[in-house]
Every structure is written in structure tokens, then in C-alpha cells.
């Protein structure tokens, strides 16, 4: 049960380290992205060049993207989403499924073709797994973050330790879209 809910489908060294061609081969065309410490540092407006280039590369491949963030700072979120040319959901209340459903609705996405990318197991990965989506965990961009997030990192470290001991780090691949259709 813990594995199904909290273990990501995949792990990446950074957002820009995620292979977009691999996602496309898996049938993924829609990406729900976390904001803080995934796309930009917590409370910052600056977007790293590598992040902007990765987002543009995804868009060039025909992928649709939406930022689903728990932030209350809608001005910051809209500024970043606007510069990146992506949809956004403010106060997504992750891990509740409402924010993921709204993001999918905005993009015209279907569950089997959608991935969630974020730096937190207890919000991004747990919520994405509950919604039946492919989930990718990236490390936080910077150690500076909300105090509540710092506390949840303690639980996350325990989960990651358990996943490593069980050999589960990155061993939950979702088959390509064509294979899923053949099995149905």
C-alpha cells in the first residue's frame, strides 16, 4: 500500500534531466508540474535557463503543460506560467485530487497520457498516484522552503530510505501507451 501511494513511477536528477522522448514513448503528452523547488526556487520569480529550455522543448514536442501549485501567491504563479506559456492552477491543495483534475481539464488531458512532476512525495507524488497518474520525483532545487515542507521532508527521507532498502527506486515503470492498449 505504501509503495502504490508514495513511491514515484520514476526518479530524475532534475527537471531538465527528464527525458522528454522517453515520456513520449510512454504515451505521455500532458505534464502537471509543481512550482516551488521544481520549476523555480521557493518564493522566487526567476526561472533557471535550463528549466525554461526544458519547458520549451516539451512544447516543441507538442506536449501540454500545467503548473499545479499550492501557492497562495497567484501573481507570482501567473507571472511564471505566462513567461513559460503554460496553464496554471493556484491553490491546488495537493495532494487532493481536485487540483490534478482541474489541470487535466485545462489541458484536455486523459489520465493514461498524463504525468506529474514534483519535488515532494507527500503532495506531488502521493496526489498524482491517487489520481492514477505517472509520477516523477525530482530533488528540490534549493534547501530554502516553507517550514511545513521542511517538516514533511523528515517523513520523505524515511520513505526514500525504505524504497531504497526494498529496491524500489525507479522500478515502477508504466508501459508505453501502445502496450497498455494491447493488454486491455
Q: What is the CATH number of the domain that holds 37?
A: 3.40.50.1000
Structural domains in the chain (count): 1
**87 within a domain of the structure (yes/no):** yes
Rounded Cα–Cα distance for residues 63 and 108 (Å):
11
3-state DSSP assignment of residue 163: helix
Q: Give tens-digit pLDDT for 57-101.
A: 999 999 999 999 999 999 999 999 999 999 999 999 999 999 999
User: What pTM was estimated for this model as a whole?
Assistant: 0.85
**183 within a domain of the structure (yes/no):** no
**184 within a domain of the structure (yes/no):** no
**50 within a domain of the structure (yes/no):** yes
- Share above pLDDT 90 across residues of the chain, in percent, rounded to a whole number: 65
Domain of residue 121 covers: 2-178
Amino acid at each position: 500500500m505504501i509503495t502504490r501511494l508514495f513511491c514515484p513511477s520514476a526518479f530524475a536528477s532534475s527537471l531538465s534531466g527528464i527525458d522528454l522522448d522517453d515520456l513520449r514513448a510512454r504515451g505521455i503528452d500532458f505534464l502537471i508540474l509543481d512550482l516551488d523547488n521544481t520549476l523555480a526556487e521557493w518564493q522566487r520569480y526567476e526561472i533557471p535557463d535550463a528549466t525554461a529550455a526544458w519547458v520549451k522543448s516539451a512544447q516543441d514536442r507538442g506536449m501540454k503543460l500545467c503548473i499545479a501549485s499550492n501557492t497562495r501567491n497567484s501573481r507570482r504563479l501567473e507571472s511564471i506560467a505566462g513567461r513559460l506559456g503554460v496553464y496554471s492552477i493556484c491553490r491546488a491543495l495537493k495532494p487532493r485530487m481536485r487540483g490534478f483534475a482541474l489541470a487535466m481539464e485545462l489541458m484536455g488531458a486523459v489520465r493514461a497520457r498524463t504525468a506529474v512532476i514534483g519535488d515532494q512525495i507527500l503532495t506531488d507524488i502521493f496526489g498524482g498516484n491517487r489520481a492514477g497518474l505517472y509520477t516523477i520525483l525530482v530533488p528540490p532545487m534549493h534547501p530554502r522552503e516553507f517550514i511545513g515542507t521542511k517538516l514533511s521532508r523528515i517523513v520523505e527521507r524515511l520513505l526514500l530510505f525504505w524504497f531504497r532498502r526494498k529496491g524500489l527506486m525507479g522500478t515502477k515503470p508504466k508501459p508505453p501507451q501502445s502496450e497498455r492498449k494491447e493488454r486491455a
